[in-house]
Amino acid sequence: MSQQIIEKLKAFKVIPVIQINDVSQAVPLAKTLVENGLPVAEVTFRTEAAAEAIRLMREAYPQMCIGAGTVLNAEQVDRAKEAGSEFVVAPGLNPNTVRYCQLQGITMVPGVNNPSQVEQALEMGLTFLKFFPAEASGGINMVKSLLAPYVDVSFMPTGGIGKANVRDYLAIDRVICCGGTWMVAPTLIENGDWEEIGRLVREAVELVND
């Protein structure tokens, strides 16, 4: 199952990491992503609205690839899965949460930024990992350094990635996709500026598929 998710994310190349404060923003945002060529979202559990936002997006656009981000415990895994998330992403690697996801049969992408964490993930059978926080953890050089000894590992760098550097990350072998907020900035979502979000999404799609 997780291989299918990885293939989907690989095809998108860039994954909008979304913070929704008000559930009424969920469907218009999903519509904007779908209509501008990026039908994928990682909705972060940083706000109370997250689970309901995922549910509404899933109902309105069943074809979308939707995951939950900033998932820190089993209770959030349950809420994410119930709402219709296909995968969950965490900022770090919590073995308890990973095992719970494995029991529930939902794809888990934990965050790592050093060799020990990579080895811990491998020990639990995980090879697709989030490299986070990417820029603050050494950026492209660190990604290359970590991928070199771990030939089965692939990464989704997230954190500090934007228009200026996304292509440099994607150029690295086994960087499957990158997470980014620049095309879905919280202020744009708050203001309902769907036109500007649409423009930035189209620009991002062109940029990574050039």
Among all residues, which ones are annotated catalytic? 42, 130
Closest CA to 18 of 199, 179, 161, 208: 179
CA distance 130 to 19: 18
